[in-house]
Amino acid sequence: MSSDCDRMREHVADLVSGTLSREDVQIVEQHLRQCPTCRSYADALRKEDLLLNEYFTDMSADMTARQQRVLSAVDRCRVPKQKNSAAIWRIIMRSKITKLATAATIIVAVLVGLHVVGPLGATVTFAQVVEPILNAKTVICDVIIGADDTNPAMHEIIVGSRIRRTMSNLPGLVMIIDLDGGQMLALDTAGKTGSYVSIEGQVKDRTQNYVDFLRQVIRQVQDGRVEKIGEKVIDGQKAIGFVGRGRNEEVTIWADPQTAHPLRIEAQIGQEFAFIMKNFEFDTPVDDALVSMELPAGYTEQEATSDLTDVTEQDFVEGLRVFAEVLEDGVFPEAIGTETTMKRLPEMVEKAQQKGVSEEEIGELGTRLGRAMIFHQILESQGQWHYVGAGVKLGDADKAVFWYQPKGSPTCRVIYGDLRVEDVAPEDLPK
């Protein structure tokens, strides 16, 4: 065996296994034609290759049975169910377009409509509790949408008309909202990009109220009646509770009985919308840069696709269509509303992806839902709406899905299963 053979033998195994580069194949085959020793070696390896193939083919034939045994074993196990939908949020976050259009749009939309608060009650003790809220120049707190503490929390830093908002389940997204300027800056901290989204119109009007929401509630409470509801322990701290009820709102405030520092606020607005505020800090010094609308150094600007201005009834109708088409395969869902939307949003994104909807289109769906929610929140504050669509098939022209009475209108607007909208006298409304 020549030294050439020694060198070639290394390649023969590669040749037989199929891992040899195309250009070397010719060289090795040329050598094999001339060298009987190496040819014999190659023949032996080829036979072994056949044996290996047979061996693993036989083994693969049993894979179905093996897999079935594993599936049976898995079936006997409990699936650990998680409430946190961080994985789906990551799907949303992966596309820059989707991230800014869906996540930011919906988060902004979800959180703007808290604000039309009716008359509440007051007591002297309560005034002490709310004093820091009324007079603080900066407020830092966590806001949780829904009545469930395990829902994702928004961390809010409020300085005058500026809000810096981050989400516990969206670590890469920072939203800075300029209420006076009617603009939001959405920052992708991982990709170092930022987008400006206009929040002019209804969103801006209602968001301005949002910043003052606590103070508005409190002032109204001070002028009215407040019911004291006793004490309980919150996060290891003794707390005294007060509840104030408005025309369309119920607000419970828990505070430290010694210092009067507010510990937790639970609010129910309208039929569907609940939220919790906690971890309050008042007048903590805040760096201006945290609420600056300037694009931070090192960031590049991206054009935003979101549009939250000039929301109309048609936006709400389109939102209902998204709910039925994407979420429930052609049937209107059990419930609608801001909390429902927030909770089911990850599921909706997932189903949209399963239906082959592109990232860009999902972003568009997000914008539609955001606009629909803004319209619905306006109705929430007026209290004149009814959802009767649970189980109704999309396209069913005979069944009503939703009706509401516009402010000052003698008639109601009824949305049917085929998504047409008609004016109906209150006495003729569907039962």
Tell me: does residue 52 bind another protein (CB under 8 A): yes
Contact map string, positions 32 to 51, toward another protein, x by CB under 8 A: ---------x--xx--xx-x
Q: Which one among 198, 353, 382, 384 touches another protein, defined by CB under 8 A?
A: 353
Distance (Å, rounded) from C-alpha 7 to C-alpha 318?
71
Cβ proximity to another protein, 74 vs 425, nearer residue: 74
Cβ proximity to another protein, 268 vs 353, nearer residue: 353
Helix or strand or coil: residue 330? coil
Cβ proximity to another protein, 84 vs 135, nearer residue: 84
Distance (Å, rounded) from C-alpha 144 to C-alpha 342?
11
Span from 30-38, 81-89, 161-169, 257-265 in contact with another protein (CB under 8 A)? 81-89
- Nearest distance from C-beta of residue 11 to another protein, angstroms: 8
Distance (Å, rounded) from C-alpha 326 to C-alpha 341?
12
Tell me: does residue 300 bind another protein (CB under 8 A): no
Phi then psi for residue 221, to 5 deg, are -65, -40
Helix or strand or coil: residue 202? helix
Using alpha carbons, select from 220, 205, 219 the residue that is nearest to residue 118: 220
Q: Which two tokens stand for residue 408?
A: 């000052």
| Residue matched to tokens 């806001």 | 143
Using alpha carbons, select from 315, 313, 320, 312 the residue that is nearest to residue 392: 320
- Which residues within the stretch 5-24 sit at the binding site for another protein (CB under 8 A)? 10, 13-14, 16-19
Distance (Å, rounded) from C-alpha 174 to C-alpha 277?
19
Q: What number of other Cβ atoms are within 10 A of residue 106's Cβ? A: 22
Tell me: does residue 290 bind another protein (CB under 8 A): no
Cβ proximity to another protein, 34 vs 354, nearer residue: 354
Cβ proximity to another protein, 2 vs 60, nearer residue: 60
Tell me: does residue 81 bind another protein (CB under 8 A): yes
Site residues (vs another protein, CB under 8 A): 10, 13-14, 16-19, 41, 44-45, 48-49, 51-53, 55-56, 59-60, 63, 66-67, 69-71, 73-75, 77, 79-82, 84-85, 87-88, 90-91, 346-347, 350, 353-354
